[in-house]
Structure 1
Amino acid sequence: MTLPANLDQLTADELRELVRQQSAAITHKDRELNWRKIKIDKLTHEVAYYKRHYFGIKAERLPVEQGQLFEETLAADMAAITEELAQLSETKPKGQAKRQPLPPELPRTEIHHEPESTTCTCGCQMQRIGEDVAEKLDYTPGTFTVERHIRGKWACKQCETLIQAPVPAHVIDKGIPTTGLLAHVLIAKYLDHLPLYRQEGIFGRAGLPIPQSTLAEWVGQMGVTLQPLVDALKAEMLTYPVLHADETPVAMLDPGKGKTHRAYLWSYSIGAFEPIKAVIYDFADSRAGKHAQEFLGTWRGTLVCDDYAGYKALIADGVTEAGCMAHARRKFFDLHANNQSQIAQQALAYIQKLYQVEREVAELSPDERRRIRQAQAKPILDEFHDWLTRHRCQVPNGSSTAKAIDYSLKRWTALVHYADDAQVPIDNNWIENRIRPIATGRKNWLFAGSLRAGKRAAAIMSLIQSAKLNGHDPFLYLKDILSRLPTQPNSRIGELLPHRWRLESID
């Protein structure tokens, strides 16, 4: 806060108010400094932890491929922590090794950066006296090229003024990769599920084997850089009244034991009927309900989910539960497939009628959708409930038929909630389809190397899959936002979210 020029002219009340404001500002700064100190101490401890495991790796403890995956995870995690420490301390890391020049045989494209005007303030025409050149490595599948950024130096002989175009902002300060190369690495790893050691081999066949450790450093830095976008997407998601949730297991390595244990990737998306399309993944070390509570925080809307007990605490705390008719149908389908049950066949016929109504109302307005549901689906639901109740009395407790019927009856209020709320779908298939890419990737990941690596993967995949949901090419999306992030004000970061980004924003 700037103090008034003449304190003697202030009244007693004005002085007291000034002292109060100064005290509040000092308190705020002290809290911020204390938070930074705690965060730096925590990150410094993490660095020591990762270094201990990284430099203590024993080849015989893990199979070769798993060992390579673990090494790239540690390298990426350490790079991410270093980047966070640099941001907190607001200083640039020191002692960076001087990088080797790029191979001279690679094709080069020159990009010139010159001042807008070369006329000096004294009126003289400046003379070009030299230039600075920075080379960046670019990649299109199968081919490496080099961008030569040339910044001319202009001087005025009369008044000895020197001017030069500013260094173009880059997502990695003084880094060698273009945003195109960075986007390619991220897409290959988190969309095409190619581990970095495989990408190293692919790059080698293209003429330049970028070390796995270097790729891992880039990935770690990009995870930190992209996190504010994911945070902004989450904040916007939590303003919507209907959300979907689901979770799927992912193995996570315990480096101390050289074994894996079951972690989970939780998935959340905006309601299927909303015009905004977005999905966010949240990696956690367990399936405990506390993770859903922490993600949703104070949000209190309608959550479309399955019957997993982890969501029950949210329901008890004011969240409205909407059930998944597809899960109820699955119980009867399995019963019919295994036993040719006539009861299951009749139940499936009721559910088929309900889905026929949903196909008719899918593209209608909310008011029209609710009206038709009330007129057509509600009578079917009432008849189905009476049918379930009657047949439950006719089957023995503990039988497969009883279990299938009980699933629907015990969740009946949640299962029929959609009939009264036009923004709620009949099932949770919307989010289940969003989680399928994770199941595909597990075959190549083998495991998540650490909790931090899992959270980084979840964040980057959130942006990639949200871009796909909005009809964007994920590579073009990542390339563009990585180019714009260094100069994008925090107040306008929402412009880069997948549902607002447009192709014409690319130069």
Structure 2
Amino acid sequence: MALRLYFRPAITHQELEKENQELRQINETIQREIAALKLQLSQVYKLINGFKSERFSPEVLEHQLSLFAPQETTPKETASKETITYTQEKQKHPGRHALPEHLPVSEIIIEPEQDTPGLKKIGEEITETLEYSPASLIKKRTIRPKYAKKEGEGVLIAQLPSRPLEKSIAEASLLAHILVSKFVDHLPFYRQIQRFHRDFGWEPASSTLSDWMSGCCELLEPLYNALKQKILASGYIQADESPIKVLDSDKKGSTHQGYQWVYHDPTGKLVLFDYRKGRGQHGPKELLQGYQGYLQCDGYTVYDKIGADPAITTAGCLVHARRIFNDALDNDKARSEKALRFISTMYQQERILKETAGEDFEMRKMLRLQKIQPHVQELKTWIETEQYSILPKSAIGKAMSYFLNQYPKFETIFEDGRIELDNNRIENAIRPMALGRKNYLFAGSHKAAQNAAMIYSFLVSCKMQGVNPQIWLQHTLEKLPDYNIQKLDELLPGYQAS
């Protein structure tokens, strides 16, 4: 067999350099893609295994020693021994917490078995324990005597008092219990029905509970509108959105992805949930029409469109910036840690100045300008210097770009002492709904999703106000049928008339 030799035609130095340049570009592209995939993989691991705390503690990173790090010594160093003595004070057990004074008391007096006549009582030993008395259903029977008027003029009978739902057997206390169990304790209706059957031998239909909830929402709607107006009049609102799956008759075999838009008034401690079918600007733009003041939000582009309204000034959220730098630790640890140190210092100063200023927002503004704003400006200057040394599409590059894009919103924080450094409080407001989603998975319809938004608005506001939701809701359902519509503000959580 003849041996054939093939030779590559000679190429010039310029062509070779061009090929090398193309290979380098391909390699850089592949490296960027690998880095992006590693970031996505690490985020998936976090979702599977749970997030670690985002709180950044630079002191721990700088000063803690590795458990397995070798202790380096020079030949000239010799081990030395010294005896250390110390005195350790034994800490006393704090003891049990005192039982609340408002609990009803059942007293039992136990006399000695021996005869006590003629003995002088010198004191007594009191032991307090707790027992549980299960809730009970009570059949409320309203009896109205009927009287025949003189000379056949008719019948005299007292008028029935107003109830939350006319022609329904459910009183306000039961309705409040059912709604609080569903939206605070995250018990779906079918589980509540199982408990009613187990404990009381009463098994209402699931459709009955749904109808009761709809009736309560219809009754509460004017108060919901009053809550909306109260929040919009505050001049400072935090906003966020959260997905919720909804059964849709137009989408057989699948669910619709709706959104609960949440608005929080931090100074008034009131929260409004507003259900919308999508995540576009139509919903928040419609609700915020005519609003004047600050809107604190993350970097979602819809808020930028809303902020184009000259009456609305958008403020940023430092927690979202911190979160993105935290996600970039695996990509560029040194730069990410430096950015996190800046943000950690800001929060340390914020805690101190809040202790100093309290609710004096003018003082809070003045102290922030002195203690926190310089750190924000310094972080911005450092990022502007460093961003040219990193890949824009890398995790650290995206974190830096996010901070610079949001920087004008961060500066807004220093215009008014009411504005918080972040949106954490509204994320806390959304958390009960996120827990509920795991239990009842989806809303039965778009109307049901908006009814859920209404109930969440009131019950989360109760939580913000430190108000017992069961007591508030029962009190409100009892009063609403006959209440003056001009004074509905008095029924809002924390605003009841004395």
Tell me the TM-score normalized by structure 2: 0.69
Q: Which of 267, 278, 282 is residue 286 of structure 1 equivalent to?
A: 278
* Identical-residue share of aligned pairs (%): 37
Partner of 1:326: 319
Q: Which residue of 476, 480, 489 maps to 2:484?
A: 489
CA contact (8 A) 1:144 1:207 kept: no
RCO comparison, higher one (Cα < 8 Å, 6+): 2
Answer whether contact 1:289 1:309 (CA < 8 A) is retained. Answer: no
1:351 to 343, 364, 367: 343
2:294 alignment counterpart: 302
Q: Deviations over 1:420-479 (max 9, x none)?
A: 221111111111111111111110121111110100000011111111211111111111
2-side partners of 1:340 and 1:402: how far apart? 9
- The structure carrying a bigger helix percent of its residues is 1
Which residues of structure 1 form unaligned runs of 5+? 1-139
Take 1:141 and 1:288, find their aligned partners in 2: how far apart are those partners?
Answer: 47
8 Å CA contact 1:278, 1:499 repeated in 2: no
Deviation at 1:158, TM superposition (A): 7.2
Deviation at 1:226, TM superposition (A): 0.9
- The 3-state SS of whatever aligns with 2:217 is helix
Q: Aligned AA for 1:294?
A: E
Work out the CA distance in 2 between the residues paired with 1:186 and 1:297: 31
Q: Which residue of 2 aligns with 1:392?
A: 387
Q: Aligned residue for 2:229? A: 235
1:216 and 1:401 map into 2 onto residues whose CA distance is 49
Aligned ranges 1:291-440 → 2 under 5 Å? 291-318=283-310, 319-336=312-329, 338-339=330-331, 341-362=333-354, 363-440=358-435
Aligned partner of residue 138 in structure 2, secondary structure: strand
- Structure 1 residues 364 and 240: CA distance shift in structure 2, 3 A: closer
Shift of 1:200: 1.6
Q: Which amino acid aligns with 1:415?
A: F
State the match for 1:167 in structure 2: 160
1:126-145 equivalence runs, <5 A: 142-145=135-138
Q: For the residues of structure 2 that align with 1:433 and 1:241, how far apart are their CA atoms?
A: 21
Deviation at 1:364, TM superposition (A): 4.4
Alpha-carbon RMSD = 1.8
1:232-289: per-residue Cα shift (whole Å, max 9, x none)?
Answer: 100111111110000011111123412112111110011x2x1x21001011111111
Which residue pairs with 1:478 in the alignment?
A: 473
Distance in 2, Cα, partners of 1:156 & 1:260: 61
Count residues with an aligned counterpart: 360
Tell whether 2:210 aligns with 1:216. yes
Deviations 1:121-153, CA, capped at 9 Å, x for gaps: xxxxxxxxxxxxxxxxxxx95522111111223
CA deviation after TM superposition for structure 1 residue 301, in Å: 1.2
Letter in 1 for 2:314: E
The amino acid that maps onto 1:185 is I
Q: CA deviation at 1:159?
A: 8.4
Do residues 197 (structure 1) and 178 (structure 2) align? no
Give the unaligned 5+ runs of structure 2. 1-132
Distance 1:240 1:435 in 2: 20
Aligned-partner residue type, residue 353 of structure 1: T
1:444, 1:359 → 2: CA distance? 36
Whether the aligned pair in 1 keeps the contact of 2:241 and 2:262 (CA below 8 Å) is yes
CA 1:397–1:182: 2 relative to 1, 3 Å: closer
Task: Point out the structure with max Rg over C-alpha.
Answer: 2
**Bigger proportion of residues as strand:** 1
Deviates more, 1:226-235 or 1:144-153: 144-153
Q: Distance in 2 between matches of 1:157 and 1:196?
A: 51
